[in-house]
């Protein structure tokens, strides 16, 4: 049967009514972490098994324990008082007869005065619709079981419906149980085990019968009894040694298993360590840039004053002042020239007087006498007041007071503000030079700030990417930074344990051989004591039982080996197909026997193990093996009858492997539904998926959360956008 559609109504992040339709081929639901891919997987699982995967405890839990996470938070938040309903409907179609089956699970809650009460149980309704007829509700449990089996049989369910994080555990061939489970899917090997055990018991029983007979025919009964006691003691010892060996082998297996898990994690651990170092370096750069940016922003406004930014555009005012100052200078010069000319005249007169008679000749009292008498006493001529002669005598009176004056002796104006004006002018000149560079200065500062902002943004982005990658690795591998540091130490310790247990195994094997040798000799001694003939029929019976036992064991081993070979061959077919586009060393998958168990490893053409595999390789080997478990059952046509549903199986794969996986899955399974984030950001990869020639493509959807930016702290407004891409 193939899954035709899923209808989700208020289920988890799928608020309101949502629908996905699927066809044959590979159907892909693309979305980033937290966008609702796993919730879709949960929805299918919930309808079928009334359980959902609890991400915190990493296990499936029944509805009643997870009620409050099943109904959409938005539906609960927005609902008025009354009933709130959530449901998921799966519609399957049986292509052989066109019968349609719907399985719908519902969960109800009631809201009263804002308080929400969840119903204790979910309910399920199954309907069957034969072609051209009306759908009928199926209430017969046996029929429901038959329908469920048609959807997915229990024995293959784990290999058809799985989450990415389960892959490691599903195929852990060092663990006896996972191997047996896988082999049992291929063929019921436990039947052979039962036959083997029964023949062994039969053989042991007739052997004891023979011993009893032999003792009764002994020529030395006492010795026979003593030998029998010794034999019993040796057998007890042998059993004890075998017990110890089993324990040592189990311990060794566990140490190897742990060591192998750690080896698988080693690459992730190294990557985490690298990322952690890188994160620290980027964080240092980020803080540095942040500090520079802070400084830049802190000094930005200060530059308004220190770099004279606020003067931009005031050049005209300086020009005006320059004109004022220039006029002032001119006025001063003119004034100076005027004063200078006046001084020149005055000085000339003084000079002239000084050349006529020396100062104080005649002495001032005689000059006063001459003026009083209006007569020159030197030449004795009359000098009437007001006459030129009188004036000439009079000019001699103040002659001593009159001195030649310099310009500096004369005040040009009442005040001298020249220093102030000059200072203002020079300051203006300096500022003018600065103003001419202000635009460039501001531009450079803004560019520098922008560069720092850009750099900060880039570093923030880089930091976010590193953190996201680290978080992803931590989620996928359950290794945190501290554990990453301890993995190498743990690995060394586990290898040491394994080495020690292997030494123990060698020692115990030797001991066992010795005891078995002793037992054989003892058996011979025992037989030598027998006189007369033991019933030949009994001896024949023992031989026959031994043969039967050996045949049963070897048949079981042969069948098992054949199944392993088939599995290996089929796994390699898928592995080859998935790795075709990747150029790295591919290797061959080998299911290597180890202490009676098998583990998948990659080998070269000479059967030498390829070491240092990356996580992608390891997951790919396991995916190939999972696919092989189903596809190797050729007679059952499981790959054509049932849908492969997997959530994030490709999270550890590179781009080429991702496409290779999709191609192989689409060619192997009639229908598959894969949830993936690989195609979300990588548009080239998405294009390759949508246009890939060798991919038998079904429907492709992109899911994104629909949530206002202001409401990202909770899910009260969350719904999911479903966009078909083809």
Partner 1 sequence: MDLLEKIKLREPEYDAKYYDMILDYTIEQGAKMGTAGEEEKWKQGKYFSTRYEMYMYATLLGMKRDYSLPIEKGTDKKSFIKIDSWKPSEIADYIIMCAIAKSNLDLFELENTEEAEVDKKITELKSTIESYANGGFDIIRSKKEEDEAYFLENDNSFLDLLDEK
Q: Are the C-beta atoms of 577 and 620 separated by less than 8 Å?
A: no
Instruction: Dig out the tokens for 10 from the structure.
Output: 């208020």
Pick 402 or 455: Cβ nearer partner 1: 455
Binds partner 1 (CB under 8 A): choice among 49, 366, 421, 497: 421
Beta bridge partners of 88: 8, 105
CB of 328 to partner 1, least distance (A): 4
Give CA separation, 627 vs 213, 462, 567, 632, in Å: 56, 37, 9, 8
The backbone torsions φ and ψ at residue 646, rounded to the nearest 5 degrees and listed phi first, read: -140, 135
Q: Indicate whether 318 belongs to the interface with partner 1 (CB under 8 A).
A: yes
Q: Indicate whether 231 belongs to the interface with partner 1 (CB under 8 A).
A: no
Q: Are the C-beta atoms of 88 and 8 separated by less than 8 Å?
A: yes
Task: With contacts defined by CB under 8 A, name the span among 10-18, 328-336, 608-616, 668-676 that binds partner 1.
Answer: 328-336
Question: Could you tell me whether strands 51-54 and 59-62 are parallel, antiparallel, or unpaired per DSSP bridges?
Answer: antiparallel
DSSP per residue over 384-400, as a string? -TTSHHHHHHHTTTSTT
Task: With contacts defined by CB under 8 A, name the span among 136-144, 417-425, 559-567, 587-595 that binds partner 1.
Answer: 417-425
Q: Indicate whether 431 belongs to the interface with partner 1 (CB under 8 A).
A: yes
Pick 150 or 332: Cβ nearer partner 1: 332
Instruction: Dig out the tokens for 375 from the structure.
Output: 């007569």
CB of 435 to partner 1, least distance (A): 10
Beta bridge partners of 697: 26
Q: Indicate whether 64 belongs to the interface with partner 1 (CB under 8 A).
A: no
Q: Indicate whether 305 belongs to the interface with partner 1 (CB under 8 A).
A: yes
Task: With contacts defined by CB under 8 A, name the span among 196-204, 232-240, 307-315, 479-487 that binds partner 1.
Answer: 307-315
Binds partner 1 (CB under 8 A): choice among 308, 658, 672, 696: 308
CB of 326 to partner 1, least distance (A): 10
Centre a 10 Å sphere on the Cβ of residue 65 and count the other Cβ atoms it contains.
Answer: 12
Q: Indicate whether 444 belongs to the interface with partner 1 (CB under 8 A).
A: no
The Cα–Cα gap between 8 and 37 comes to 13
The full 3-state SS of 239-274, as one line of letters, equals: HHHHHHHHHHHHHHHHHHHHHHHHHHHHHHHHHHHH
Q: Indicate whether 452 belongs to the interface with partner 1 (CB under 8 A).
A: no
Binds partner 1 (CB under 8 A): choice among 341, 357, 404, 413: 413
Q: Are the C-beta atoms of 153 and 465 separated by less than 8 Å?
A: no
CB of 321 to partner 1, least distance (A): 4
528: left (phi over 0), alpha (psi -120 to 50) or beta: alpha
Single out the residue of 701, 642, 697, 700 nearest to residue 669, CA to CA: 642
Q: Indicate whether 457 belongs to the interface with partner 1 (CB under 8 A).
A: no
Binds partner 1 (CB under 8 A): choice among 16, 34, 313, 724: 313
Task: With contacts defined by CB under 8 A, name the span among 69-77, 290-298, 385-393, 399-407 that binds partner 1.
Answer: 290-298
Site size toward partner 1, by CB under 8 A: 46
Q: Indicate whether 332 belongs to the interface with partner 1 (CB under 8 A).
A: yes
Task: With contacts defined by CB under 8 A, name the span among 73-81, 419-427, 486-494, 602-610 that binds partner 1.
Answer: 419-427
Pick 60 or 328: Cβ nearer partner 1: 328
The Cα–Cα gap between 591 and 631 comes to 17
Burial 665-692 (b: 16+ CB within 10 A, else e): bbebbbbbbbbbbbbbeeeebbebbeee
Binds partner 1 (CB under 8 A): choice among 338, 416, 527, 593: 416
CB of 408 to partner 1, least distance (A): 17
Question: Could you tell me whether strands 161-163 and 643-647 are parallel, antiparallel, or unpaired per DSSP bridges?
Answer: parallel
Give CA separation, 676 vs 29, 85, 670, in Å: 6, 29, 19
Q: Indicate whether 526 belongs to the interface with partner 1 (CB under 8 A).
A: no
The Cα–Cα gap between 486 and 266 comes to 10
Q: Indicate whether 417 belongs to the interface with partner 1 (CB under 8 A).
A: yes
Query: Which residue ranges make up the site for partner 1 (CB under 8 A)?
Result: 294, 297-302, 304-306, 308-314, 317-318, 320-321, 324-325, 327-328, 331-332, 335, 412-417, 419-421, 423-425, 427-428, 430-431, 442, 446
């Amino acid at each position: 049967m193939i899954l035709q559609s899923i209808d989700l109504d208020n289920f988890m992040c799928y608020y309101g009514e949502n629908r996905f339709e699927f066809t044959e081929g590979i159907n892909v639901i693309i979305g980033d972490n937290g966008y609702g891919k796993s919730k879709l997987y949960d929805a299918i699982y919930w309808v079928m098994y009334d359980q959902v995967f609890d991400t915190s405890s990493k296990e499936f839990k029944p509805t009643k324990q997870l009620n409050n996470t099943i109904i959409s938070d938005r539906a609960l938040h927005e609902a008025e008082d009354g009933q709130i309903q959530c449901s998921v409907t799966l519609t399957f179609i049986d292509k052989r007869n066109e019968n349609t089956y719907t399985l719908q699970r519902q969960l109800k809650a009631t809201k009263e005065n804002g308080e929400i009460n969840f119903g204790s149980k979910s309910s399920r309704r199954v309907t069957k619709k034969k072609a051209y007829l009306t759908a009928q509700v199926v209430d017969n449990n046996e029929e429901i079981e038959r329908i469920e089996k048609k959807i997915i049989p229990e024995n293959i369910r784990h290999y058809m419906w799985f989450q990415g994080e389960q892959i490691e555990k599903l195929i852990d061939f060092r663990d006896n149980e996972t191997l047996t489970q896988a082999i049992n899917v291929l063929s019921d090997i436990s039947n052979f085990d039962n036959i083997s055990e029964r023949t062994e018991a039969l053989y042991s029983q007739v052997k004891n019968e023979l011993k009893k007979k032999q003792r009764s025919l002994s020529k030395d009964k006492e010795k026979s009894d003593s030998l029998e006691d010794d034999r019993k003691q040796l057998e007890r010892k042998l059993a004890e040694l075998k017990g110890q060996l089993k324990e040592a082998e189990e311990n060794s297996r566990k140490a190897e298993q742990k060591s192998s898990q750690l080896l698988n994690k080693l690459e992730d651990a190294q990557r985490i360590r690298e990322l952690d170092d890188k994160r620290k370096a980027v964080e240092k750069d980020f803080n540095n840039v942040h500090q520079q940016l802070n400084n830049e922003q802190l000094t930005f406004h200060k530059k308004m004053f220190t770099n004279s930014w606020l003067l931009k555009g005031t050049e005209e005012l300086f020009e005006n002042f320059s004109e004022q100052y220039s006029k002032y200078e001119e006025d001063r010069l003119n004034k100076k020239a005027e004063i200078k000319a006046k001084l020149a005249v005055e000085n000339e007169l003084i000079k002239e007087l000084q050349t006529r008679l020396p100062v104080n000749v005649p002495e001032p009292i005689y000059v006063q006498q001459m003026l009083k008498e209006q007569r020159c006493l030197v030449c004795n001529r009359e000098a009437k007041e007001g006459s030129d002669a009188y004036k000439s005598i009079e000019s001699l009176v103040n002659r001593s007071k009159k001195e030649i004056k310099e310009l500096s002796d004369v005040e040009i104006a009442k005040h001298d503000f020249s220093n102030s004006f000059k200072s203002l002018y020079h300051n203006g000149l300096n500022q003018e030079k600065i103003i001419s560079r202000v635009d460039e200065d501001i531009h450079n500062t803004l560019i520098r700030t922008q560069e720092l902002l850009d750099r900060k943004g880039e570093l923030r982005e880089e930091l976010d990417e590193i953190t996201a990658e680290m978080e992803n690795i931590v989620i996928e591998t359950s290794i945190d930074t501290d554990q990453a540091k301890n993995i190498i130490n743990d690995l060394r310790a586990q290898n040491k344990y394994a080495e020690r247990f292997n030494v123990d195994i060698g020692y115990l094997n030797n001991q066992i051989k010795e005891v078995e040798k002793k037992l054989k000799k003892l058996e011979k001694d025992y037989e030598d004591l027998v006189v007369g003939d033991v019933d030949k029929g009994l001896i024949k019976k023992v031989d026959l039982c031994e043969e039967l036992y050996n045949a049963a064991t070897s048949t079981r081993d042969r069948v098992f080996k054949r199944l392993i070979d088939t599995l290996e061959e089929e796994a390699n077919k898928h592995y080859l197909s998935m790795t075709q586009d990747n150029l790295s060393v591919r290797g061959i998958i080998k299911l290597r026997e180890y202490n009676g168990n098998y583990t998948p490893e990659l080998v070269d053409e000479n059967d030498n193990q390829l070491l240092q595999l990356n996580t992608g390789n390891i997951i790919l080997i396991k995916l190939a093996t999972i696919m092989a478990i189903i596809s190797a059952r050729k007679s059952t046509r499981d790959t054509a009858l049932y849908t492969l549903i997997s959530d994030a199986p490709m999270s550890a794969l590179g781009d080429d492997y991702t496409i290779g996986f999709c191609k192989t899955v689409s060619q192997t399974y009639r229908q598959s539904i894969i949830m993936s984030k690989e195609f979300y950001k990588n548009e080239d990869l998405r294009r390759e998926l949508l246009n890939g020639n060798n991919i038998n493509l079904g429907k492709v959807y992109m899911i994104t959360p629909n949530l206002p930016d202001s409401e990202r702290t909770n899910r009260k407004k969350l719904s999911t956008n479903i966009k078909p891409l083809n």
